[in-house]
Each structure stands twice: as structure tokens, then as C-alpha cells.
Amino acid sequence: MSLISEGAEVRRPALAEPSLATVGDYIALLKPRVMSLVVFTALVGLSVAPGSLHPITAFTALLCIAVGAGASGALNMWFDADIDAKMTRTARRPVPMGRVQPGEALAFGLTLSGFSVVVLGLLVNVLAAALLAFTIFFYVAIYTMWLKRSTPQNIVIGGAAGAFPPMIGWAAVTGSLSLEPILLFAIIFIWTPPHFWALALYKTEDYARAGIPMLPVVAGEVVTRRHILLYTLLLVPVAIAPWPLGFAGAMYGVTSVVTGAIMLLLAWQVFRERRPAERACRNLFAFSILYLFLLFAVLLVDRGWGGLIARIAT
Amino acid sequence: MSIGLAMNEPANKDDGVVLTEAQKRARRSRSIAIAVSLAALVLLFYVMTLVKGPMILVRPM
């Protein structure tokens, strides 16, 4: 049973009432902004992988990964409609607004999940499809249904779901895994907690109202700020690691060192903040998105760009 | 009641669901989106078959 199902204010039309959902509502169920980051990190994994892949096969792989990520978002919105209705950030999503009925979101998510995994398996390779299926399962069943409502470590473990796409991209090309895609996984995995805790610090009331046991709600602000700093201290060397390990060149090295220093500075400002001021947390949250984007973009240019152009040219 | 009688009866406004114009527009847009998605899927399979040729049946791990 859900911890927070009582008092949910999801607007449900009568069963016989025809749907007013537009195509835009269904696109919103796919969480396009999250999907764009997933596609980008998968593209990097695909581009830096050794070996060759026909551009149309690469496009198919990215399309399947994008649809699979969108399907996860739809299933997340189906299950979380009750808590989405209580949070200002999510209250205008299609299910809590009553524009899409929960059953429709469930059917949409399950259909797209099945299609994305089967098509990836049929047209690209089975390992990539298996990883995509596991990612959808992890995000929906492990994170959304279990961890999110039961532990303040929800996004620490659940962050793995968002970290898989570069591995899927790599597997689409090579049909195997190695240290390099695991390192890309580790960067996103360790990046996720400070990113979301910075958001949770200035949305604490929202999360508390919805009954989600985010770290600031359960352990308080001081503990959360300390955790943000500790995770950032761990993140920065892991993000630099592709350079000394020889997976990336000097351009990536310089970028990861400079942006890592800014991340540490912002995390320190959050840590030193004595009162619940939003500014430092907002700055860290916003920069963390840019940080991850820059790391992967530079890796794409530094390492994968040549291979990508060669693939398109052949 | 026979089928013939039922067909000759005047339409009762209370029977069935009568869509509003907004609902009809929403349904039409959804139907078009489904049709476009299916056509894109067919095209994807066609193009991928051309790209892979006989290798389409080979699915390495």
C-alpha cells in the first residue's frame, strides 16, 4: 500500500467520459526534457564506443532508447499521480490534471516499453535491448514503486536508472561492455544525488507535503548539505578519471578539472549556508546540469566526434 | 426485440456517448498520431531491412 495515497487529489473523469487528452498530453507523459538528456548521454556512449555501426542503425538505437526512456516517464506518472498532484513542480502533469486517465498512461507506457525493447533487440542487438529493459524495470519498479516512497536513499540507488543510457549506447555498437562505459555510468550515478538534493533543499516543503522521504525531509538540511559536499568530492575525481585512464584527451581533462572545481565551490557554498537560503542550492542545481552536459559534450568532441563523422561518411 | 425493429427506432439522445467538438478534435489528433507512428515503424523496419540485408536475421549478443 502506498504511504501517501490518502488524500490524493488526482482528477478522474467518469469512466464513460471520453478522453480530452491531446497528442501534447501524451508527449508530456514522455518527460521530453529528461528524454533529451538520456538521448544525449546515449549518443555519447554510442559515439565513443569502438567499432562501426551504420548511421541508420545508430539512429534506430537512439530512437529506441528515447522511446524506452519516455515509456519509463509515462509509467512513473501513472504510479506517482497521487504525489504529483500534491507538488507544485508536478501538479500540472497530465494525469493529476485529469487530462489523461491513469489507465491510459499505464497502457501507453507499457506499449512503448514493449515496442522499444523488442525493436532494439530485433534491429540492433540483444544486449542493448536487455539493458534497456532492465533500465525501464529499474526506474519503474525499483525506484518509482519501491525506493522513492520508502527511503531517503531513493535517488542514490534510483540514480542508476538515469546512468544506464551511455552503457546502452556503447552496447548497441560493441555488443559488449567494458570499463569505459561503466565509468560513464559511474559519473551520472554519482552526479545524481547532489543534483537532486540541491533541488530537494529548496523544494523541501513540496516533498514533505507529498510524503516523499527525501533526505532534507527525513534527516534535515544540515545532513543533506554535508551529503551534497561528500558526493561532490567523490564525483569530481570520478569525472576526471577518463583523462588519466587514457579514455579522453587533454580537452576533456581541462574541462573536467575546471568545471569540477566550480562544482566543488558551489557545493561548499551550499554546505556553508547556515540558514535555509535558496540561492546556493539553485546555483548548484542549475550548474550541475551544465556540468554533466559539458563533460559529455566535450567527451563527444574529444573522443567520439571523429568516429561519428567516419560512420556517417561510410 | 428484433434487429429490424431496433434499426427502425429513432435515435435516442440518451443512448451511447455523444462526443463534443473538443473531444472529437482530440480523438482525431490522437488517431492521426497513432497512424503516423505506425507508418514510421513500418518505414523503419523497411529501411533497416535494406540496410542490413540478409544480416537482418543475425542478432548478435
CATH numbers and ranges of domains, chain A:
23-313 (1.10.357.140)
Identify whether B6 is part of a domain. Answer: no
Question: How much is the ipTM here?
Answer: 0.76
- The total domain count for chain B is 1
Partner-chain contact B19 A115, CB within 8 Å: no
pTM of the model: 0.86
Identify whether B42 is part of a domain. Answer: yes
Identify whether B1 is part of a domain. Answer: no
Mark out the alpha helices in A154-302 (DSSP H runs): 154-163, 165-174, 179-202, 204-210, 215-218, 221-240, 250-272, 279-299
Q: What is the pLDDT of residue B3?
A: 46
User: Which of A9-23, A234-248, B4-18 shows the highest mean pLDDT?
Assistant: A234-248
Asked if residues A39 and A62 have their Cβ atoms less than 8 Å apart, the reply is yes
Print the domain residue range for B35: 21-61
pLDDT in tens, A173-212: 999 999 999 999 999 999 999 999 999 998 888 889 888 9
> Of all helices (H) and strands (E), which one includes residue A72?
helix A55-79
pLDDT in tens, A47-68: 999 888 899 999 999 999 999 9
Identify whether B38 is part of a domain. Answer: yes
Mutate to test the interface with B, among A25, A60, A123, A176 (most CBs of B within 10 A): A123
The Cα A154–Cα A150 span in angstroms is 7
Q: What is the pLDDT of residue A52?
A: 83
Residue of A nearest to B55 (CA): A123
Residues of B in contact with A18 (CB under 8 A): 17, 19, 23, 27
Q: Which of A24-38, A178-192, A261-275 has the lowest mean pLDDT?
A: A261-275
Q: Look-up: residue for cell 525493436? A: A119
Residues of B in contact with A175 (CB under 8 A): 60-61
Partner-chain contact A20 B26, CB within 8 Å: yes
Asked whether residue A1 carries a pLDDT value surpassing 60, the answer given is no
Q: Which amino acid would we find at residue A198?
A: A
Asked whether residue A26 carries a pLDDT value surpassing 70, the answer given is yes
| B36-42 mean pLDDT | 95
